[in-house]
Amino acid sequence: MKIQPLAVFLVLCLSVSAQENDPTSGRRAWSLEDCITYALENNISIKQVELDKNGSEENLKQSKYAKLPNLSSSTSQSFSWGSTIDPITSDFVSQQISATNVGLNTSVTLYNGNQLSNTVSQNRLMVEQNELYVQETRNNISLSILEAYVQILYNKESIEVAQNNLDASEKEVERARARLDAGTIAMIDYTDALSQAATNRTNLISAKNGYAQQIIALKQLLELDPTIELDIQPLDNRLLEGQLIPSKQDVYENAVARMPEIKASEMGTAISEKELDIAKGGFLPTLSLTGSLGSGYTSTNDLTFTDQLDVNFNQRLGLSLNVPIFSRYQNKAQVANAKIGIEQSKLQLQSAKKELYQKIETAWQNAVSAQEQVEASRAAKEAAEESYKLAQRKYELNALSTTDLVVSQNTYTNARLAYLQAKYLGILYSELLDFYQGNEIKL
């Protein structure tokens, strides 16, 4: 009797644990790893390219089966009147005829310029290419999630900055009102405080809206229901000062060797070369083996239906050779188009490498710039913070106008936002460079 309650307790514990590990349960914030893992399983774009890959696998399977003999059956029933040829006996008769034909037919291509084998090879390459397209799409979704995740972190801290500014400005409005009532400041100082508070309230609304927009973008990448609450985990206060930025050329060389879009473009050239081999096969003869089994019944014969099927049973085996002589330029056009396709695929490979280099160049330049800006913007933020604190003390002593206090607060706000922007851009582009070198996205 004591075992049953214990079992129930264990089941409940396991259920709670499973819900806590499920990001969609709403029990905890999503980490970057949670987002990427969930998106790779649920994103529609990934599912679409996976279906394309499945289709290419079916095409490969069909091209392999094309080498096998086909088999078909046929049955026909005919009625004729007057003078005609008996379809079973081939006798000329002048009477009503009821005839039945049954048969099995098969054929197999023995040789057709290696077109069947080359088609199998080409479809196999297409399967491999589609697998690379799946990897490319998974990478693109992962990078999009990284960008949205970092942007959300920036917007989240921007909300905190805007909220602190609003709280400070509202206190300044209260102090300004008290001083106005006491006659120690002019009305313009009070209205400046009100204006700054209104501006800060607008900035807070804008920051919250920006955060909400990025949350929507991330939900769409994750294919989440809009009603699901989504919150993400903050970083462990990791900054990028002092991190070594790898050589741009090293990053590019590693990326060319690893990125699926480059391998897919290289595969495209191989596929086009196979297309040329297939087109050249159109100039060569086609040799086929055919065979059939058949029998029939005719009403002109006095034998029974079963007996006639036995008597009229026939077998046929034959070879057919088709030699192309003039195809109205069709084969030449296919060869020419295949050669054009090879050149186009080579250009596509160059374009893919060029585009990859541009992405790496941009990421590298931004990473270097962000690393330099982090230290500078942090120093500017700290200086602006000290200036703002000093301005607040002067304002409390009635030694500083409201306008000057507002200027100091805005300077401090801009410095904080510039520091946040540099920090998160540094994180983003540093992760991009790691990714292009074959490392997993992991904050």
CB 124 within 8 A of CB 59: no
User: SS in 3 state form for 345-389?
Assistant: HHHHHHHHHHHHHHHHHHHHHHHHHHHHHHHHHHHHHHHHHHHHH
Q: In this predicted structure, what is the pLDDT of residue 22?
A: 54
Task: Give pLDDT tens digits for 86-130.
Answer: 777 888 888 888 999 999 999 999 999 999 999 999 999 999 999
Nearest Cα to 158, choosing from 102, 212, 77, 219? Answer: 212
Classified as helix, coil or strand, 291 is strand
Per DSSP, 92 falls in state E
Q: Where are the alpha helices (DSSP H) in 303-329?
A: 305-311
Read off the tokens for 210.
């920006």
CB 367 within 8 A of CB 429: yes
Q: Which residues pair with 294 in a beta bridge?
A: 103, 314
Q: In this predicted structure, what is the pLDDT of residue 20?
A: 47
Task: Give pLDDT tens digits for 202-229.
Answer: 999 999 999 999 999 999 999 998 888 8
- 26 has pLDDT over 70: no
User: What are the CA-CA distances from residue 313 to residues 25, 79, 289, 298, 306 (Å)?
Assistant: 72, 21, 21, 13, 11
Q: What is the mean pLDDT of residues 232-242?
A: 65
Counting every residue written for the chain, the total comes to 443
> Which position has the token pair 């405080």?
193
- pLDDT band per the 50, 70, 90 thresholds, residue 333: very high
Rounded Cα distance, 146 and 138, in Å: 12
- 82 has pLDDT over 80: no
Q: In this predicted structure, what is the pLDDT of residue 25?
A: 56
- Which residues in the chain are classed under CATH 1.20.1600.10? 29-68+112-284+329-436
Q: In this predicted structure, what is the pLDDT of residue 320?
A: 95
- What single-letter amino acid sits at 359? K
Q: In this predicted structure, what is the pLDDT of residue 2?
A: 42
Q: The dihedral of CA 270, 273, 279, 281: what is its sign?
A: negative
CB 243 within 8 A of CB 84: no
Q: Which residues pair with 100 in a beta bridge?
A: 77, 297
Q: In this predicted structure, what is the pLDDT of residue 183?
A: 83
Read off the tokens for 384.
């602006």
- pLDDT band per the 50, 70, 90 thresholds, residue 13: very low
Rounded Cα distance, 61 and 55, in Å: 10
Nearest Cα to 204, choosing from 134, 157, 254? Answer: 157
Could you please state the CATH topology (level 3) that the domain comprising 29-68+112-284+329-436 is classified under.
Outer membrane efflux proteins (OEP) (1.20.1600)
Q: In this predicted structure, what is the pLDDT of residue 236?
A: 67
Task: Give pLDDT tens digits for 395-429.
Answer: 888 888 888 989 999 999 999 999 999 999 988 99
> Which position has the token pair 């292009």?
436
- 61 has pLDDT over 50: yes
Structure-model confidence comparison of residues 141 and 371, the more confident one: 141
- Which residues in the chain are classed under CATH 2.20.200? 69-109+285-323
Nearest Cα to 338, choosing from 187, 170, 119, 192? Answer: 119
Q: What is the mean pLDDT of residues 278-285?
A: 95
- pLDDT band per the 50, 70, 90 thresholds, residue 64: very high
- pLDDT band per the 50, 70, 90 thresholds, residue 332: very high
Q: In this predicted structure, what is the pLDDT of residue 314?
A: 92
Nearest Cα to 369, choosing from 412, 416, 423? Answer: 423
User: What are the CA-CA distances from residue 293 to residues 85, 98, 100, 290 (Å)?
Assistant: 22, 21, 14, 11
Q: In this predicted structure, what is the pLDDT of residue 155?
A: 95
Could you please state the CATH topology (level 3) that the domain comprising 69-109+285-323 is classified under.
Outer membrane efflux proteins (OEP) (2.20.200)
Q: In this predicted structure, what is the pLDDT of residue 1?
A: 40
Q: In this predicted structure, what is the pLDDT of residue 48?
A: 97
- What single-letter amino acid sits at 356? L
Q: In this predicted structure, what is the pLDDT of residue 401?
A: 86
